[in-house]
Structure 1
């Protein structure tokens, strides 16, 4: 990625950003400046007033512009919304990553934009306006007579309004390559948490290794078995579906075991209403020591903010587990039991223990920096293990012929 351009204004072709150029978004909202990709549809957004979910679903994790072109220079104007946490270290600008025929070919960020200043001690947030900016990629191969497939993965952790797409050659939607569509739902870990860039989040890595098209409904702080999320999964065309359930239910302290079990059944029932035979994988939580045996809620450790370090602590009492409060061990056991029960009648329902993706030995080597979220190296480990266990031969998402029985 370079910052200069040899082209004059007359050389540029501006292509309207429409839904056929985007993958990974469920809705495209027209705005004053352009279009805003959403990962939940408009009817869902009308059913909640939670600022955390609104922020998470508008951050385009897994969303990418995909087109075919002979262009050697690509410019994208965007209006990002950047977050500032009072007392915490500055967050890096969101990263845009460009791939040519699946191979990384550039990366960059957009300066400016809006800023959302969040004061966790006061529970307040202030939004300030700012100008749009540009990320520019130059020196790309032209791809010959047939051109090339270009993907621009948008920042997984930065709300991004798309203002304009400019190139030095015509653009058309990329053809359907016939790859299976994987629809995934989870928490901030699935959204990407502290990964370095949008293709470094574990679902993107797993999708690349598995040769599938990703729709990522990883929603930071918001994997709460909400009925509208289940209906969004139900209504979204997909060949493969996974749901990663657990950590947000504990650290938000939103329900007890009595409510958890029927909520899981209801969530799965709703998905099955639209996808009765689709391979459906239930993934339990990865290791998180602060909540293995201690219920939530979790909260930022404000004593460390003065040192510029943000960490989380569990605020519950382990003794409260006897009264039905949820811990990660409780959730893992119950999810395993639920899937074992349901799979007797649903051979396409599968279970994956999250400790097989990241467990005690991994924590000893790659601890969670803030006690909740994995870093880039851990995202890679989780993504590689998921692909090896789920997409490979014998896995829940392994390709199979119509005559091959589903794995049990």
Structure 2
């Protein structure tokens, strides 16, 4: 087995590889954006490497990746599954591994607290791979922080050039909440079908029109951009309609500073029954938690809509109107109704298990529908916008 340095040309989907005492910490936001964030939850989300993967050509039959995962344990909540590493050969999922040990982050909800416990590096061994030249991808967990420590193989590794690149920004739904593996999150499903390289800026709880996120998107070289916005603004009860419209305009203006003609798809929220006509804030259903079940509920009231509170229905209407207004001078901006990815009828057949996040089947459905509507339409495989 030969050691290979983990270099930028082997890592796809990351904004930065930060060198630590242990190894390399992949980041989904650049350092200047991270410095402007003061939210601990956002800091964890951007270090969870959703969409980040090692990618190279090799004839190796054995590959080993040393990693240091950080598990999250929430006081009083059901245990979280271990993060999954997906290995694909020539685009097909072949092996899955988990790092069972590692650090532990113990998180208290009331009062808020975070305690990091040390842990040991884990060795992930992928063996019995085809002994021919092949494209190998190792997708890192979409919902578990991890540092990359070492990479070994029994044959040479060769970097591969990037394909057309799709940059996506959204909430925990885009990061992959309730999906069971990193290649099963809906953006990864869509990227595979669309034959594009994914850069995923889906941040759990933090699709909030932050200016530093818009600037990071502005400064990333890509061929297609999508922004899926709405659910976090409602379930955090962050702003009123008066602020939402100008904030969305400003977010899109910033992106356009660096991507004046890049196809830009603005996606409204998927169907979520608890927030369709009921404003936030959203909250855990503590009665369900007492029974060991994760469930969310809306704490607002429908009457508050008259006071300018946001719901998913009103946000969809506003996003559609803003995109229509901007398209008069920007022919490369497009609107996609989130209900076309997952709507009320889908919810009857495939309900959201926690009333907020899709499960694995819905992630697959959304990814396939997005690929059909966007990669076969707005951004065809021929590269025509």
Normalised by the length of structure 1, the TM-score is 0.92
Cα displacement string for residues 286-325 of structure 1 (whole angstroms, at most 9, x for unaligned residues): 0011111111111111122221111111111211111111
Equivalent pair of 1:121/1:302 in contact (CA under 8 Å): no
> Matches of 1:360 and 1:123 in 2, distance apart?
35
Cα displacement string for residues 78-125 of structure 1 (whole angstroms, at most 9, x for unaligned residues): 000111122222211100010111121211101111111223343322
Report SS of the residue matched to 2:274: helix
What does 1:305-316 align with in structure 2 at a 5 Å threshold?
305-316=289-300
Structure 2 partner of 1:93: 82
Residue 69 in 1 paired to residue 58 in 2? yes
Structure 2 partner of 1:27: 16
> Matches of 1:237 and 1:45 in 2, distance apart?
19
Equivalent pair of 1:82/1:158 in contact (CA under 8 Å): yes
Report SS of the residue matched to 1:285: coil
Runs in 1 of length 4+ with deviation above 3 angstroms? none
Structure 2 partner of 1:3: none
5, 13, 16: which is aligned to 2:2? 13
Structure 1 partner of 2:147: 161
Report SS of the residue matched to 1:199: helix
Equivalent pair of 2:195/2:381 in contact (CA under 8 Å): no
Cα displacement string for residues 348-376 of structure 1 (whole angstroms, at most 9, x for unaligned residues): 00000001111111111111111110000
Deviation at 1:32, TM superposition (A): 0.4
Report SS of the residue matched to 1:291: coil
Structure 1 partner of 2:288: 304
Equivalent pair of 1:17/1:165 in contact (CA under 8 Å): yes
Structure 1 partner of 2:40: 51
Structure 1 partner of 2:103: 114
326, 351, 355: which is aligned to 1:342? 326
> Matches of 1:347 and 1:89 in 2, distance apart?
47
Normalised by the length of structure 2, the TM-score is 0.98
Structure 2 partner of 1:5: none
Structure 2 partner of 1:192: 176
Cα displacement string for residues 254-286 of structure 1 (whole angstroms, at most 9, x for unaligned residues): 111011000000000000000000000000000
Structure 2 partner of 1:268: 252
Equivalent pair of 1:27/1:41 in contact (CA under 8 Å): yes
Equivalent pair of 2:103/2:116 in contact (CA under 8 Å): yes
Structure 2 unaligned spans of 5+: none
Structure 2 partner of 1:237: 221
> Matches of 1:364 and 1:233 in 2, distance apart?
35
Report SS of the residue matched to 1:126: strand
Structure 1 unaligned spans of 5+: 1-11
Report SS of the residue matched to 2:335: strand
Structure 1 partner of 2:240: 256
Report SS of the residue matched to 1:289: coil
